[in-house]
């Protein structure tokens, strides 16, 4: 079965691409990082397509190219995103740059919707007769529920992904396409890997159990579980070790 993973060149997306490929899926990685994306695609026997998830033409062209190579994709995992950290009013009194807020919403929320709508349209056009035609898994964040200081843009964008989940599932139910969202807690992504080990350990200790940072492969494991269970639809699953984020 063909699958598309956005943001698949690193972090949660890369772990998901590896896990699905290991299960026999034909993977198309959509990302802007050509070096990392191409290297991973080669490693897992998949394909890489330079893709801006916010662009009409970029997504349309990548979907067409992936379909020409692998056939109609029936799995979409949306991991592309950014995580800005900017206060609404900085310590020097300057307001949050509006362009930074727009960019977070554009990539995290608009990009997710852009992928959903174009992916679903192509899949519906394939006219597949199975009981289940496809599955879409989006990525939100626990910041959608307990955003911290400096996360106004990030939390708003991920809250939008949470709010999108149920209506998208209802819209696409008639086409037998499920829509789910995962809201990860603190995971060992490339951004956190750049922190000193004591800082990583300190973050991990905030998680009640298991008291450590989440591993990207655990995100991929949940994606796999969602794909396997046809009654999971229209819901957001927190994958966070029971953490509830403090204000800072």
Per-residue pLDDT of the chain (248 residues; tens, 9 = 90+): 999 999 999 999 999 999 999 999 999 999 999 999 999 999 999 999 999 999 999 999 999 999 999 999 999 999 999 999 999 999 999 999 999 999 999 999 999 999 999 999 999 999 999 999 999 999 999 999 999 999 999 999 999 999 999 999 999 999 999 999 999 999 998 877 776 788 788 888 999 999 999 999 999 999 999 999 999 999 999 999 999 988 88
Gap between the Cα atoms of 208 and 149, Å rounded: 21
The answer to whether residue 206 is domain-embedded is: no
Cα–Cα nearest to 53, from 72, 77, 73:
77
Number of domains comprising the chain: 1
pLDDT of residue 152: 96
pLDDT of residue 198: 81
pTM recorded for the entire structure: 0.96
Strand partners, 27: 3
Domain that holds residue 107: 2-188+215-239
The answer to whether residue 131 is domain-embedded is: yes
Gap between the Cα atoms of 78 and 67, Å rounded: 17
CATH code of residue 161 = 3.40.50.720
Radius of gyration (Cα) for the chain, nearest Å?
Answer: 18
Annotated active-site positions, please?
A: 154
DSSP state of 91: T
The answer to whether residue 38 is domain-embedded is: yes
Q: Omega into 210 within 30° of 0, i.e. cis?
A: yes
The answer to whether residue 55 is domain-embedded is: yes
The answer to whether residue 134 is domain-embedded is: yes
Gap between the Cα atoms of 185 and 243, Å rounded: 7
pLDDT of residue 186: 94
pLDDT of residue 202: 80
pLDDT of residue 246: 87
pLDDT of residue 33: 97
The answer to whether residue 152 is domain-embedded is: yes
């Amino acid at each position: 079965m063909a699958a598309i993973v956005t943001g698949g060149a690193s972090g949660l997306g890369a772990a998901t691409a590896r896990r699905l490929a290991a299960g026999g899926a034909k993977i198309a990685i959509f990302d802007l990082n050509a070096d990392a994306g191409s290297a991973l695609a080669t490693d897992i026997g998949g394909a890489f397509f330079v893709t801006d998830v916010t662009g009409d033409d970029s997504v349309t062209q990548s979907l067409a190219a992936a379909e020409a190579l692998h056939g109609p994709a029936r799995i979409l995992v949306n991991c592309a995103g950014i995580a800005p950290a900017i206060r609404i009013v900085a310590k020097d009194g300057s307001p949050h740059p509006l362009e930074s807020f727009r960019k977070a919403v554009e990539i995290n929320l608009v990009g997710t919707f852009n992928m959903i709508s174009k992916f679903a349209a192509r899949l519906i056009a394939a006219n597949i007769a199975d009981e289940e035609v496809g599955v879409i898994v989006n990525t939100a964040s626990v910041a959608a529920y307990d955003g911290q200081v400096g996360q106004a843009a990030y939390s708003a964008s991920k809250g939008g992904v949470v709010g999108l989940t149920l209506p998208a599932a209802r819209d696409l139910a008639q086409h037998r396409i499920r829509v789910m969202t995962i809201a990860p807690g603190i995971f060992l992504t490339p951004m956190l890997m750049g922190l000193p080990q004591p800082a990583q350990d300190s973050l991990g200790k905030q998680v009640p159990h298991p008291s450590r940072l989440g591993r990207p492969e655990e995100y991929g494991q949940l994606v796999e579980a969602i794909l396997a269970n046809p009654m999971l639809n229209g819901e957001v699953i927190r994958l966070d070790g029971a953490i509830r984020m403090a204000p800072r």
